[in-house]
Amino acid sequence: MPFPTAPASYRPSPDLLRGRTVLVTGAGDGIGRAAALAYAAHGATVILLGRTESKLEQVYDRIEAAGGPKPALVTLDLETASEDNVIQLAAGLAQEFPHLDGLLHNASVLGERRPIESASYASWLQVMQVNVNAQFLLTRHLLPLLQAAPAASIIFTSSGVGRTGKAYWGAYAVSKFATEGFMQVLASELENTSRVRVNSLNPGPTNTGMRRAAYPAERPTDNPAPGDIMPTYLFLMGDDSANITGQAFTAHP
Ligand code: NDP
C-alpha cells in the first residue's frame, strides 16, 4: 500500500507558519537544515537544535539574512543528553515561548551497516540513544508546551527500512521501526484528548551526508536535494494537515 504524501498540487501559503514556534532537531545539516530554512521562510520562529554549534550558527545566519523571524539556538548532543538536561531545556523554552506549535524529530545516526551476527553492542546503544531514547525524552518533556498551543504537530522521521526490514541495516532499521511504533502510540493517546497531532515521515532517498555514507557507490545528485522534499514537511507541520494524525507519510512518491 503506498504511503501518503502531500497532494501533488500542494503549494504552501507563504504565511503557513506565521506566528508559530517550531523546534527542529539536527537542524545544522541535511534535511533538518532544509526544514529549518523552509519553516522560517514560511513565517516560523525556529528553535535550531543540534550538536555542532558552528553548523547551527550558519543556519541561524541564513534565516536572519533572508529576513525570517529570529531563531533560537540550542546546542545539545542527543547521544549524551541526560533527562535533567532535557528538563532544563524544556523549562528554558517555557520561559521564552508561551507554547510550541511544532516538533520535528529529525536528528538520527546511521550506525553500522553490517549483519547482526557481527554488530557491535556499543554502536547498537548509540543508535538507540540518538534515534529513539532522545526522541522519548524530548517528546516527554516538551509535551506540556505542545499541549499549550492552539494546535501542534509532531513529526517523527522514519525511513523505508523502518517500514520493511532489510538485511544489514541493523540498529538503524530497528530504531526506525521503534519510531513508527512511538508515533502510533502517541497519536492514539493524544487523538481525542488534545490538539496535538502526530505523524511519521519517510523523506525517501535524499542527497545528504547520511545517504552518501550509506550508499558510497551511488551518484549523489541522482537523489533529490533536501530542499526539494520540503512540501510534505510543510504540509505536515502547518494547518493544512489539521485533521491528520497517526499516519505514516513519505516525502516523495
Ligand atoms: P544527516 O546526517 O545529513 O544529518 C543528520 C543531522 O542530525 C545532523 O544535523 C546531525 O548533526 C544531527 N545529529 C546526529 N547525531 C546527533 C546527536 N547526537 N545530537 C544532535 N544532533 C545530532 O542526515 P539526513 O539529513 O540525511 O537525515 C535526516 C533524517 O532523515 C534522519 O532521521 C534520517 O534517518 C532520515 N532519513 C534520511 C534519508 C536520506 O536519504 N537522507 C532517507 C531516510 C530517512 P551534525 O551535523 O552536527 O552531525
Beta strands in the chain (DSSP E): 21-25, 45-50, 72-75, 102-105, 152-157, 196-202, 248-250
206 vs 224: CA distance, rounded Å: 5
Q: What's the gap in Å between 25 CA and the centre of ligand 1? A: 9
Task: Tell me what pLDDT residue 1 has.
Answer: 58
Domain around 96? 21-250
Q: Ligand 1 atom closest to Cα of 207?
A: 41
Tell whether 136 is covered by a domain: yes
CATH number of the domain where residue 105 is located: 3.40.50.720
Tell me the whole-structure pTM to 2 decimals: 0.98
Tell whether 124 is covered by a domain: yes
Minimum CA distance residue for ligand 1 atom 31:
108
Residue written as grid cell 549483519: 115
Tell whether 5 is covered by a domain: no
CB half-sphere exposure, 12, CA atoms < 13 A:
25
Tell whether 65 is covered by a domain: yes
26 vs 39: CA distance, rounded Å: 14
What backbone phi and psi angles, to 5 degrees, belong to 50?
-170, 180
| DSSP of 209-235 | HHHHHH-TTS-GGGSPPGGGGHHHHHH
Q: Ligand 1 atom closest to Cα of 157?
A: 32
Q: Which residues line ligand 1 (CB under 6 A)?
A: 26, 28-32, 50-52, 55, 77-79, 106-109, 130, 157, 159, 202-203, 205-206, 208-211
96 vs 104: CA distance, rounded Å: 19
Tell whether 149 is covered by a domain: yes
Q: What's the gap in Å between 157 CA and the centre of ligand 1? A: 10
Pairing of the two strands 45-50 and 152-157:
unpaired
Packing angle, helices 53-65 and 30-41, rounded to 10: 30
Q: What's the gap in Å between 221 CA and the centre of ligand 1? A: 18
Tell whether 227 is covered by a domain: yes
Q: End-to-end CA distance of the chain: give it in Å, rounded.
A: 12
Q: Which of 10, 121, 168, 172 is catalytic?
A: 172
Residue 198 burial (CB < 10 Å; 0-12/13-18/19+)? Answer: buried
- Number of domains comprising the chain: 1
Q: Ligand 1 atom closest to Cα of 161?
A: 43
Minimum CA distance residue for ligand 1 atom 29:
106
Tell whether 9 is covered by a domain: no
Minimum CA distance residue for ligand 1 atom 47:
52
Q: What's the gap in Å between 105 CA and the centre of ligand 1? A: 10
Task: Tell me what pLDDT residue 189 has.
Answer: 97
Minimum CA distance residue for ligand 1 atom 43:
159
Tell whether 6 is covered by a domain: no
Q: What's the gap in Å between 64 CA and the centre of ligand 1? A: 23
172 catalytic, yes or no? yes
128 vs 234: CA distance, rounded Å: 27
pLDDT profile of the chain (253 residues), mean per 10: 86 97 98 98 98 98 98 98 98 98 98 97 98 98 98 98 97 98 98 96 98 96 97 97 96 82
